[in-house]
Homo-oligomer: A and B are copies of this chain.
């Protein structure tokens, strides 16, 4: 039933990406679903007086693209998201296109756990990096119900 990779099919160094342009609409919608009304994201008069000089997107919007890579491409459906670390490296502004990339770094076949290095860039600028750990189904012992 899984549409994603089984753990037997993964190898260190495998990589996948997902990119999306972050719009004003994305910010408004993220405010609605998260309740995060930090003025840095929604109040231009406030934001222009900060070090950023204008409104920036919520860091969790870039994190959402990491989630998209993991949940749809590598390992894809069937994997269980266990943990994520992230460092916010540089601001993302409305209109920026964020490219999120995940690369397999460690495969623990006994525990069916995979570690992926995660990065998000706007052009050549690193805006977020961190590490994800996911549990991936095995062909030998697929999850109950699959």
Contact = CB atoms under 8 A, between A and B. Distances in A.
A68 B144 CA distance: 29
A58 interface: yes
A145 B25 contact: no
Interface residues of A, number: 65
A106 interface: no
B51 A143 contact: yes
Contact of A84 (B29, B45, B85): B85
A3 B49 CA distance: 13
Interface of A: 1, 3, 18-21, 23-46, 49-51, 53, 55, 58-61, 63-65, 67-68, 71-72, 76-77, 80-88, 95, 97, 99, 130, 143-146
11 contacts: A3-B39, A25-B33, A26-B33, A31-B31, A31-B32, A36-B68, A37-B68, A41-B71, A49-B146, A63-B63, A85-B85
9 pairs of A and B residues whose beta carbons are closest in the complex? A32-B32, A34-B64, A38-B71, A25-B25, A36-B68, A23-B24, A21-B44, A26-B33, A83-B87
